[in-house]
Amino acid sequence: MNKHLISAADLSKDDALLILDTAEELGKVSERSIKKLPTLRGRTVVNLFFEDSTRTRISFEAAAKRLSADVINFSAKGSSVSKGESLKDTALTLEAMGADAVVIRHSASGAPYRLATWVRGSVVNAGDGTHEHPTQALLDAFSMRRRLGSLEGRRVTIVGDVLHSRVARSNVLLLNTLGAEVTLVAPPTLLPVAVDTWPCQVSYDLDAVLPKSDVVMMLRVQKERMNAAYFPSEREYSRRYGLDRDRFARMPEEAIVMHPGPMNRGMEIAAEVADSPRSTIVEQVANGVTIRMAVLYLLLGGEI
Amino acid sequence: MLIRNVRILGGDPVDILVRDGIIAEIGTGLESAGQAVDGGGAIALPGLVDLHTHLREPGREDAETVLSGTQAAARGGYTAVHAMANTSPVADTAGVVEQVWRLGREYGHCDVQPVGAVTVGLEGRQLAELGAMADSAARVRVFSDDGRCVDDAVLMRRALEYVKAFDGVVAQHAQEPRLTQGAQMNEGVVSGRLGLAGWPAVAEEAIIARDCLLAAHVGSRLHVCHVSTAGSVEIIRWAKSKGWNVTAEVTPHHLLLTDELVEESPVGAYNPIYKVNPPLRTHEDVAALREALADGTIDAVATDHAPHPVEDKETEWSAAAMGMIGLETALSVVQEAMVDTGLLDWAGVAERMSLAPARIGRLPGHGQPLQVGAPANITLYDPDHRAEVDPSGFASKSRNTPYTGMTLPGRVVATFLRGRPTVLEGKLV
């Protein structure tokens, strides 16, 4: 494994499977009454969050604590960052505190790469701008594998705002590494111009792809995209690309529905679909902690 | 002043005798009672002229000053630079352009020819007093809102028309603002992977096409700044084939570097040292730009020397300033991209880096072939030297060069401004 986890492309197939298998083992800890392992005792993990994301931060915090690491939460709001301190100075401060790993969430694509040039510890990308979110992809793969078994040859359809989605980028890379066949579905305005160079299929027609899907992953549509003329209206988007009851009924019987959250119920996904037994949305959250334990364990534990 | 043993445009070794700032004699075995410099067989070029330099003074003296910028220019073999108008205050009045022009004359490392803003405050709303700047001591002929595009078609038309009265030219920074809102890098394969907002080629090409048509319609002169795409080259080639009065420049970095460096480089991914406006493009664009510079579709090389302090580049990509310094590496990059590839000979380099830019800028006393009677603006260059670029020795105040650690050919040995050396043995005089 690389020292850092910044892009899903950093992971070989063996690396990815090792993380998933390790997560299976560590998952058993979460089922115990005392949910704690001594593995990372004395190590320091910093959660450096420049963007509000309580869900992801709590998930990383729980993961580090279950491995007995010391956790420092550093959020940009109300900190020196909001007073104009640069990312570099923040990094040097963390370095002086002796962070063994820095988990970073930042609105700028590529910020974790910059951070990695200024700190000695491992950098874990918890979402950078519209670039990547590799632990989300890992927890998605983990959730799929638990429901469907091996991902080899599985057909995964990712629907929505691919252009601005770090989840989609990481998932395409990781699922391709794991042998799944990915199809992206979106209006042409929400696909990057060179998406044909990505290791996946692309379609504008959700109804054509649905019957051939083992997994349908819906992406969140940000309201502000509408004002920038990416699509005419919420209703039109929902009609053409939303997963409603009728479309859900046309999916293969064993196929599952995923969403990285937070959802716009009634927009990209109907409430009944989100709450159906074939939806993994709640499991995804639980699996997030397990996967992040595995990532921290493998990045930091190897040195013990 | 006698300059011994130099090869004019790479020809046979000769001596050049300079008297009163003018080339008095060219021949072999010349003698002089005054100072003599041994050229050691270096190539002699007419002093280089830059159409596009950011000297940052007034306003950002932490990044560059007229003094440090002209010293950098001299070290790069330049005897004249056009100082862009996007200073603070903006060079949109006779007062500001005269101040910059006068500072250049006082320091004496290199002539400074100020560029005037097209619109007041670069705001794109009202024409600046172009005539007053043209009539000032600075004698402004090139007008540009560089850094911003004159995107209003009516305002652009009026500017093109208005400058005809004093043989001026509008140098357009071609960037359609709506198509490039929040844009971070060339829109293509790499931007899609990196999740950086794309800067489409069409945003440049659409403005160039419109401006060529406007210039033809009103019968004026248009100069296109820093052409960066293959499509732009095609449009300019077409406009020239119509006989329209359109000229264009390309930067050294667009002749050598591509957008792939943003993803993978010796200095790490997303390193803003590669962030520049217009953005680095693809290999196909680089090939088209080289070809266009070779065949004359692109008239000139211009550095777009854009100094920034360290803290404006040591950030995450989207927070970083756009721009690269280029004066002290321009000739080496052009040798690497154009001469060593067989696309341009030294006469071609002289045309693209001295004669053409002086012609476009209407700069008397610069850009003249090295012959008896011409001003003794001379650059001596050793093309056989090879070294790693080490910015610690740069005269520029800033260090935002993308070439650090790269091995580039050539070295400016000496620069003469009207017969007076500004650089000797590679060092400032």
* Contact residues for A249 (Cβ-Cβ < 8 A; gap 6+): none
List the structure tokens of A63.
């993961």
Please report the pLDDT score of residue A304 as a whole number: 33
Comparing CB atoms, the residue among B187, B314, B315 nearest residue A193 is B187
The answer to whether the Cβ–Cβ distance between B316 and A195 falls below 8 Å is no
Structural domain count, chain B: 1
Please report the pLDDT score of residue B339 as a whole number: 98
**Cα(B215)–Cα(B126) distance, integer angstroms:** 19
The answer to whether the Cβ–Cβ distance between B316 and A106 falls below 8 Å is yes
Return the CATH superfamily for domain A134-283: Aspartate/ornithine carbamoyltransferase (3.40.50.1370)
Condensed to tens digits (0 to 9), the pLDDT of residues B181-221 reads: 999 999 999 999 999 999 999 999 999 999 999 999 999 99
Which residues of chain A lie closer than 8 angstroms to B192, CB-CB? 192-195, 197-198
The answer to whether the Cβ–Cβ distance between B195 and A117 falls below 8 Å is no
pTM summary value: 0.95
> In angstroms, what separates the C-alpha of B188 from chain A's closest C-alpha?
6
Residue B184, in any domain of the structure: no
| Predicted-complex ipTM score | 0.93
Confidence band, pLDDT 50/70/90 cuts, at residue B33: confident
Comparing CB atoms, the residue among B187, B195, B200 nearest residue A131 is B195
8 A C-beta contact, residue B388 and residue B405: yes
Residue B338, in any domain of the structure: yes
The answer to whether the Cβ–Cβ distance between B317 and A106 falls below 8 Å is no
Instruction: Tell whether A108 lies on the interface with B, counting CB pairs under 8 A.
Output: yes
Can B211 be counted among the known catalytic residues? no
Condensed to tens digits (0 to 9), the pLDDT of residues A22-57 reads: 999 998 877 888 888 999 999 999 999 998 888 899
* Structural domain boundaries, residue B311: 2-176+202-428
Taking only residues 68 to 107 of chain A, the set having a beta carbon closer than 8 angstroms to any beta carbon of chain B reads 86-88, 106
* Main-chain dihedrals φ then ψ at residue B253, nearest 5 degrees: -65, -30
Please report the pLDDT score of residue A53 as a whole number: 87
Cis status of the peptide bond prior to A262, with omega within 30 of 0: yes
Residue B158, in any domain of the structure: yes
- C-alpha R_g of chain B: 20
The answer to whether the Cβ–Cβ distance between B270 and A116 falls below 8 Å is no
Residue B185, in any domain of the structure: no
Choose among A5, A8, A23: nearest CA to A125.
A5
Task: Write b or e for each residue in B295-305: b if 16 or more Cβ atoms lie within 10 A of its Cβ, otherwise e.
Answer: eebbbbbbbbb
Domain ranges of chain A: 8-133+285-301, 134-283
CATH number at residue B383: 3.20.20.140
B394 pLDDT higher than 60: yes
Cis status of the peptide bond prior to B375, with omega within 30 of 0: no
**Which residue stretches of chain A have pLDDT < 70?**
77-84, 302-304
8 A C-beta contact, residue B194 and residue B262: yes
B378 pLDDT higher than 60: yes
Which residues of chain A lie closer than 8 angstroms to B189, CB-CB? 194, 197
> In angstroms, what separates the C-alpha of B274 from chain A's closest C-alpha?
13
**Cα(A178)–Cα(A33) distance, integer angstroms:** 33
Which residues of chain B lie closer than 8 angstroms to A193, CB-CB? 187-188, 191-192, 198, 200
* A8-133+285-301 and A134-283 in the same fold: yes
Instruction: Tell whether A116 lies on the interface with B, counting CB pairs under 8 A.
Output: yes
Instruction: Tell whether A111 lies on the interface with B, counting CB pairs under 8 A.
Output: yes
Please report the pLDDT score of residue A82 as a whole number: 58
Tell me the CATH number for domain A8-133+285-301.
3.40.50.1370
Beta bridge partners of B26: B16
* Contact residues for A36 (Cβ-Cβ < 8 A; gap 6+): A29, A65, A66, A67, A68
Please report the pLDDT score of residue B4 as a whole number: 97
Q: What percent of chain B has pLDDT over 70?
A: 100
8 A C-beta contact, residue B51 and residue B326: no
Choose among A106, A81, A91: nearest CA to A166.
A106
**Cα(A61)–Cα(A292) distance, integer angstroms:** 9
Please report the pLDDT score of residue A302 as a whole number: 53
